[in-house]
Structure 1
């Protein structure tokens, strides 16, 4: 047996970690979008603060970039 046959490619070593991170990122995007839909569905009910809106956009872009 060669050392090449015993080693796995890098993308196959931590598949379970990649799946868990994907699930967490998916849930976080769903949470951000569901929170943003409150402002879209009921525009006059709650006030949109610029700092909060900027934070939501920043986190959303960070998650997509990650």
Structure 2
């Protein structure tokens, strides 16, 4: 079975949990799957993947509303 995509909400809603940025980056580097990071609540935390978009071809940044 092949995983086509991995979806991570960072920070998570409703818990507000924030994934460790190094752990997410390790996932991005080691998987061929598309990694979708939803940063709809990014204004409430200090981490963002926006500056890294050009570094990883399998990274997609999403801002759901």
Larger Rg: 1
User: TM-score, normalised to structure 2's length?
Assistant: 0.32
User: TM-score, normalised to structure 1's length?
Assistant: 0.31
Q: Which has the higher strand share?
A: 2
